[in-house]
Amino acid sequence: MGRTAVARVNSLAQISRGGPEVAEASLSVLPDAAKFVFRGRPSSWPVAAEAFGVELPQAVNRFSVKGGRKAYCVGPDEWLLEAVGEDPGEIFHKLSESLASHSCSLVDVSHRSDTFEIGGTRSEYVLSHGCPLDLSEQQFPVGMCTRTLIGKSPVILSRTERAVFQIDVWRSFSSYVWGLLDEVRREFPSRSRQM
Amino acid sequence: MKYRLSSGGQVDRSKPLRFSFDGKGYSGFAGDTLASALIANGVHLVGRSFKYHRPRGFMSAGSDEPNALVGVGDDEARYTPNLRATQVELFDGLVAESQNRWPSLSLDFGGANDALSRFLTAGFYYKTFMWPAAAWKRLYEPMIRRAAGLGRAPTAADADRYTQLYSHCDVLIVGAGPAGLAAALAAGRSGAKTIVCDEQDRMGGTLLSEREAIIDGLPAADWLARTLQELGSLSNVTLLPRTTAFGWYPHNFLGLSERVTDHLGRKEGNLPRERMWQVRAKEVVLATGAIERPLVFPDNDRPGIMMAEAARTYLNRYGAVPGSRAVVFTACDSAYRAALELKGAGVHIAAIADVRPAPEGPWVERARAAGIDVRPSTLVTATHGRLHISHADLASEGASSSETVPCDLLLMSGGFTPSVHLFSQSRGKLGYDEALKSYIPQKSVENERSVGGCRGLFDLGASIADGFGGGLGAVRGAGGTPVTEQKIPVFVQSFGQDGFIGALNGKSRRRAWVDFQNDVTVKDIELATREGFRSIEHVKRYTTTGMATDQGKTSNMNALGIVSHALDLPVPKVGLTTFRPPYTPVTFGSFAGQSRGKLFDPVRQTSIHDWAAEHGAVFEDVSLWKRAHYFPRQGEDMHAAVRRECAAVRNSVGIFDATTLGKIEVVGKDAAEFMNRMYTNAWTKLEPGRLRYGLMLREDGFITDDGVVGRMATDRFHVTTTTGGAARVLALMEDYLQTEWSDLDVWLTSTTEQWAVIALQGPNARKVLEPLVEGIDLSREAMPHMSVREGRICGVPTRLFRVSFTGELGFEINVPMGYGRGVWEAIYAAGKPFDITPYGTETMHVLRAEKGYIIVGQETDGTVTPDDVGLAWAVGKTKKDFVGKRSLARPAMTRDDRKQLVGLLTVDPKVVLEEGAQIVVDPREPVPMTMIGHVTSSYWSAALGRSVALALVRGGRARIGKRLHVPMAAGNIEVEVVTPVFYDTEGKRLDG
């Protein structure tokens, strides 16, 4: 056909544009990623890990990282696999081939959610507006992830650094969650972002 | 400055502040409350009482204040009514006004109620305003509401921000008086994650007005400063002043309301006005102290009559002198301390009238030594003065004559009532302490402990020791390692435990107030007991004692004492009312928090939403989603737009955003078996690449959801659900899978938001689509109705459904969500030559109704079986089992007279029935008529040039061809019952 394919639009593109800079709790949209929900019987787990190239954590609510790829364990037999900047079709094809003889489910959810990051000395405090969990480092250390709520929206929350959290949120809820955290951090001084 | 000491206290005399009260300008100092500043200006008259409009002044200096309720704020958007002036911190420019008076505080016409008081006794509105019933709504209630009341609600939207956050800690300490601070030291030093909250602007509680005590070798004020400094330096301790713990919820979950900016006046920056802390604490230490009890004697409510401890607080903490000539009326020692301290500040103490027959001990001796006239067994039998007390009548108990003593201040003290509100909210068990004449905490239910004054330990040394020990205990309870016990030596003159509850009005006919805020007198309570009310819970509701916004902080124990005396029952037999949150009123803004405006609820939008908005769509809410309802062009109303949109789909092609449909990917080798069990249909023989309409029942056999399902591979189904049912259906499926069928190798993944869905419907749909698609043969032969293909459209992957909810040739194009708008725009551009028309949910509803396709939730209401709506064909008769199968076999589910789906055609084709309208056989039947069904869907059909309707009618299928009636307010509408398919009954257009 010769035409260029339509471009992917991030659900946070609009709301994140030109917002204030708040050093205590900065918000930034993360690059699009290929994402898959992998669930299955135990025999399939090492096969998926091998094919995806990242160890699948066996402890629920932990994630592991290798390069641009991550595996979040979000249930006893459930992982969210993430590959930043990669093509979902290729990964899906490769994993499906490896897993063909195993009892499991692999579903492409690359477009289901978008991911953004909150970072800064008060990121934990800002997230506590809406997230009922104890987000202290003792209870929610780096490397932890969980399904939880922020306000009235379900999210997958993970801590990548001491003061940095990532929020994976379904597209139709993303502007609500972003807006909620943005509203909360208004109590901190902000500078207009240089355009 | 007659009423302000030149030194002393914690006000900053170098920072004068201007404020106004009822339009008059005053000045005060930084550190003042509105109450202390007014007292320092000699102002005591600050309010009118709730019912009788009696002039009232400050009674206390804290959150227990029943009288001094004021409205604060100079603009409507920041106006707050009913604030206790004793808690309002002064700032420059503060504007406050009194309430419940007209035209002014000193001349209040509502005061006429006072003269009518004998008709306004307890329960007067039950007795007086009984008939006629209609008058209640129009006359009595508005009248009573106007006459009796508190502040007025502001009319403008609140301009402030409010936030809510969750917090977790090892130890939460409520109250930062001596006991609470000692507990905080113990918990803080032990390394426990500790939160200390206190409702006052400064921490310290009674230490803030303490003059004599030596703690750990330091004057109280210095020990307090050192302690706060130490606590402030501990990173594991969070100090929250101006923060009221207002409610206790299960499992040590407490609500704390922090007043962040009220004291700043015109603030800068964007701090929230209030911050609600929702704290989950492993252990709670209650150090809530005690509240001084008023004495109940005749005329005890005039301005200038206040609690003895309040007078001390005004004097010692604010340097504000509440009068020049005082009478002290007491049942305990502590008022002697107040008398001595006031005397030291130059206030003449006319007399101390002591209820006790033989008061003795160091405090009494010190008063006598200071030359104060101490009178044992003496009561105040009356007071005088219209807007301020001017005289008090003192009489020896039993004496027939009294002496009238001039005074502008009367201090009273009936002892102290431990503040057990939060403990009681935590479901802890209270016990009555005869010596203290108070209820104190007895048995905890939650992980909490009470320390100090709130459990009856009023001695400063005992309270501090108790607090420290309680802090250590809490650390232990939270799993921490407590530091070693530390003895904090305290030197202070102790008080005894004397006190009084009940009434001291003897045979006086003058009124003696028990509940000042709700204007309840001794007579009211005695009347209630005479009328047969014996339980305190009933007395409370009949008289409204303890039911005001202060929840009876100053009145409950006296009311109990009066009932106990009247019924001649011991106090514990009378019972105790329940304490409920909030401890003090909390703003609506605080409860709303961030959930205002755009953040009230998530507003879910599809990736095509903005295109629709840019093209003038009117949206409707479908669960949390915004869906395009219709796309009006210039000058069109909804009906005109829908008629045009319908015609476009029937004649050429329309485009519709169906993204909100719920989607679930069912994957695994047992996927077909799982589908067989969940849906009524048979799935085993459905080939990959084909679609099927699926129907889902609940266990009770009634329809709960439906949707088109595509088999993508032998082990993979692409299931769609209704928009509103998506989450419920997934939860239901997951529930069965985890609890009943864990042996099945199948897994569920929500893909609702993975796919944008573009419905392209109409005879020209294929022509529009063909040039955009790669790798899929769209021809009639290659891709029949109810099939699905995977390929690419506009260069991105698609799951292309050939399916129709309009009765026309149709496709539903699933593309990954982020491509939704791009693909939509490409299709729209390709459709231009065919005058492609975007349509909304209303047109979708009309088109499907013309075809008789049901909508779950519109044609069904949770009591409808597949057969009722003509979907018996979707039930796999030979299947072994599916959810709801057994219920379908019940006799009631197959009766002929069940309500069945039929079509209705009005005899007058121009009349469009009202959805929900009832259907009858005989419109001449007297009301109430026998209703045999109702209209479920009704529209104007542009294609047919007449109205059409669907209805559920009892035994409906047997009535086809007959006429029924729809009686409406405007008259009867006659309808003909028909088969529920109105357009293209043979379905030829689907094959387009």
Distance from CA of B606 to the nearest CA of A (A): 7
Distance from CA of B605 to the nearest CA of A (A): 5
CA B489 to each of CA B173, B285, B287: distance values in angstroms, whole numbers, following the listed order: 22, 22, 19
d(CA B334, CA A132): 45
Chain B residue numbers touching A175 (CB-CB < 8 A): 603, 605
Q: In the structure, how many helices (H) and strands (E) does chain A have?
A: 4, 10
Please report the pLDDT score of residue B505 as a whole number. Answer: 84
Is B746 in CB contact (< 8 Å) with chain A? yes
- DSSP state at residue A144: B
> What is the tally of structural domains in chain A?
2
d(CA B764, CA B810): 9
Point out the domain boundary residue: A65, A81, A109.
Answer: A109
A59 inside domain: yes
CA B583 to each of CA B231, B449, B910: distance values in angstroms, whole numbers, following the listed order: 26, 18, 62
The residue of chain A nearest to residue B275, with distances taken between CA atoms, is A129
CATH of domain B891-992: 2.40.30.110
The residue of chain B nearest to residue A101, with distances taken between CA atoms, is B669
What's the residue count for chain A?
195
Distance from CA of A136 to the nearest CA of B (A): 9
Question: DSSP string spanning B912-962?
Answer: PPPTT-EEES-TTSPSSP-EEEEEEEEEEETTTTEEEEEEEEETGGGGTT-
Is B625 in CB contact (< 8 Å) with chain A? yes
Torsion angle of C-alpha atoms B848, B854, B855, B858, degrees rounded to 10: 110
CA B513 to each of CA B54, B302, B346, B381, B554: distance values in angstroms, whole numbers, following the listed order: 11, 10, 30, 13, 11
Helix ranges (DSSP H) in B358-442? 362-369, 421-425
Q: Across chain A, what does the average pLDDT equal? A: 95
Mutate to test the interface with A, among B162, B166, B614 (most CBs of A within 10 A): B166
d(CA B183, CA B455): 14
Q: Which residue has the tokens 């084909």?
A: B690
Q: Which two tokens stand for residue A165?
A: 């959290």
Helix pair A88-99, A45-52: axis angle to 10 deg:
140
Please report the pLDDT score of residue B703 as a whole number. Answer: 98
- ipTM of the complex as predicted: 0.97
pLDDT digit string, tens, across residues B478-511: 999 999 989 999 999 999 889 999 999 888 889 9
Q: Report CB contact under 8 Å: B796, A6.
A: yes
For residues A119 and A26, membership in a common domain is answered with: yes
A28 inside domain: yes
CA–chain centroid gap for A2, Å, is 34
Which residue of B598, B753, B819 is in closest CB contact with A6?
B819
For residues A27 and A53, membership in a common domain is answered with: no
In chain A, the percentage of residues whose pLDDT exceeds 90 is 92
For residues A150 and A57, membership in a common domain is answered with: no
Q: Report CB contact under 8 Å: B822, A189.
A: no
Class of domain B662-751: alpha beta
Residues 322-341, chain B, touching A (beta carbon < 8 A): none
Which residue of A112, A173, A184 is in closest CB contact with B602?
A173
Neighbours of B489 (CB within 10 A): 11
Q: Which two tokens stand for residue B2?
A: 């007659």
Q: Report CB contact under 8 Å: B826, A6.
A: yes
Architecture field, domain B162-290+418-479: 3-Layer(bba) Sandwich (3.50)
Neighbours of B107 (CB within 10 A): 10
What's the predicted TM-score (pTM) here? 0.94
Please report the pLDDT score of residue B128 as a whole number. Answer: 62
A118 inside domain: yes
CATH number of the domain to which A125 belongs: 3.30.1360.120
For residues A96 and A51, membership in a common domain is answered with: yes
Is B596 in CB contact (< 8 Å) with chain A? no
Please report the pLDDT score of residue A1 as a whole number. Answer: 44
For residues A162 and A98, membership in a common domain is answered with: no
Q: Report CB contact under 8 Å: A8, B818.
A: yes
A39 inside domain: yes
User: How confident is chain B (992 residues) per 10-residue block, as mean pLDDT?
Assistant: 91 97 97 98 94 94 96 94 97 94 81 75 66 70 69 92 97 98 98 98 97 97 98 98 98 98 84 97 98 97 98 98 98 97 98 97 97 97 96 93 97 97 97 95 97 97 98 98 94 92 89 95 95 92 92 95 95 90 96 96 97 98 96 96 98 98 98 98 97 97 98 98 95 97 98 98 98 96 97 97 97 98 98 98 98 96 97 95 96 95 98 98 95 98 96 98 97 97 94 76
CATH number of the domain to which A73 belongs: 3.30.70.1520
Q: Which structural domain range is residue A140 located in?
A: 12-32+112-188
For residues A78 and A20, membership in a common domain is answered with: no
d(CA B518, CA B543): 9
Q: B913 near B947, Cβ under 8 Å? A: yes
Distance from CA of A150 to the nearest CA of B (A): 11
Neighbours of B5 (CB within 10 A): 18
Residues 766-825, chain B, touching A (beta carbon < 8 A): 771, 774, 794-797, 816-823, 825
d(CA B455, CA B444): 12
Point out the domain boundary residue: A66, A85, A109.
Answer: A109
Neighbours of B699 (CB within 10 A): 12
Chain B residue numbers touching A181 (CB-CB < 8 A): none
Chain B residue numbers touching A107 (CB-CB < 8 A): 665, 667, 749, 751
CATH of domain B1-153: 3.10.20.440
For residues A101 and A147, membership in a common domain is answered with: no
Torsion angle of C-alpha atoms B580, B581, B585, B590, degrees rounded to 10: -160
Which residue of A105, A131, A132 is in closest CB contact with B747?
A105
Q: Report CB contact under 8 Å: A172, B606.
A: yes
For residues A122 and A173, membership in a common domain is answered with: yes
Question: DSSP string spanning B274-293?
Answer: EEEEEEEEEEEEE---EEEP
| Phi, psi for A42 (deg, rounded to 5) | -50, -35
Q: Which CATH superfamily includes the segment(s) B601-660+753-861?
A: Probable tRNA modification gtpase trme; domain 1 (3.30.1360.120)
Neighbours of B71 (CB within 10 A): 18
Chain A residue numbers touching B161 (CB-CB < 8 A): 183, 186-187
d(CA B398, CA B378): 9
* Domain extents in chain B: 1-153, 162-290+418-479, 601-660+753-861, 662-751, 891-992
For residues A75 and A119, membership in a common domain is answered with: no
Please report the pLDDT score of residue A195 as a whole number. Answer: 43
d(CA A118, CA A109): 23
Helix ranges (DSSP H) in chain A? 45-52, 88-99, 123-127, 171-184
Chain B residue numbers touching A7 (CB-CB < 8 A): 819, 822
Q: Report CB contact under 8 Å: A103, B745.
A: yes
Point out the domain boundary residue: A76, A109, A142.
Answer: A109
Residues 667-726, chain B, touching A (beta carbon < 8 A): 667-669
Q: B673 near B873, Cβ under 8 Å? A: no
Q: Report CB contact under 8 Å: A173, B272.
A: no
Bridge partner list, B416: B292
Helix pair B522-530, B536-543: axis angle to 10 deg:
120
Q: Report CB contact under 8 Å: B165, A108.
A: no
| Total beta-carbon pairs less than 8 A apart between chain A and chain B | 148
Amino acid identity at B511: R
Q: Report CB contact under 8 Å: B823, A6.
A: yes
H or E element in which residue B327 lies: strand B325-330
A193 inside domain: no
A5 inside domain: no
For residues A100 and A116, membership in a common domain is answered with: no
